[in-house]
Amino acid sequence: MSIRFEVRRTAQVAKRDIYKGLLDLDLAKDWMQGLVRIQRLDEGAMIVGSQWEETRKIFGKEATEHFEVVQLNEPSKIMLRCDGTKGTTGKGLFIFTYTLRSFDDPTYTGIVLEGEINGLTGLARFFGKMLAGNFKKACAKDLDKLIDYLEK
């Protein structure tokens, strides 16, 4: 059973700049809440298959998760996969799809983040809807922080 959520935002930032901001891991330290470190597991430009480990401080403890770029359609779409079995979560498969669209005014961008959570078992599956609400709030905060940073 998939658990899904969606976050929608509008930014006064060009679509290409939002796209680049989402993929610039070095920039994340300037806006990402609770970030301790990001470690690339490969080198070069961000491409399909690029991977990294992201460590954040959550509830006073460090948590590390493994991310991989699944799809890139510059400058309109980014799909990331977080394999919970490779990180602190220990279970689940999390898919984050960012779709960007321009308005008539190219300095504004519409952003839709679709989240999908799969592979939860036991109590995590039972409480999945509540878990999705927490993920949605966290993703919305991250997106808001990125937008604030890029709009300055």
How far apart are alpha carbons 76 and 122 in whole angstroms? 36
How far apart are alpha carbons 36 and 113 in whole angstroms? 23
Enclosing domain of residue 42 = 3-151
Average pLDDT on 58-67 reads: 91
What is the structure's pLDDT at 133? Answer: 80
Q: Say how many domains are in the chain.
A: 1
pLDDT-based confidence at residue 123 (cuts at 50, 70, 90) = low
Instruction: Give the residue, 30 or 120, on which the prediction is more confident.
Output: 30
Residues 6 or more apart whose CB falls under 8 angstroms from that of 62 comprise 36, 55, 56, 88
Q: Domain of 92: which CATH number?
A: 3.30.530.20
pTM to 2 decimals? 0.92
Report phi then psi at 136, rounded to 5: -60, -45
How far apart are alpha carbons 132 and 11 in whole angstroms? 24
The average confidence (pLDDT) of the chain is: 91
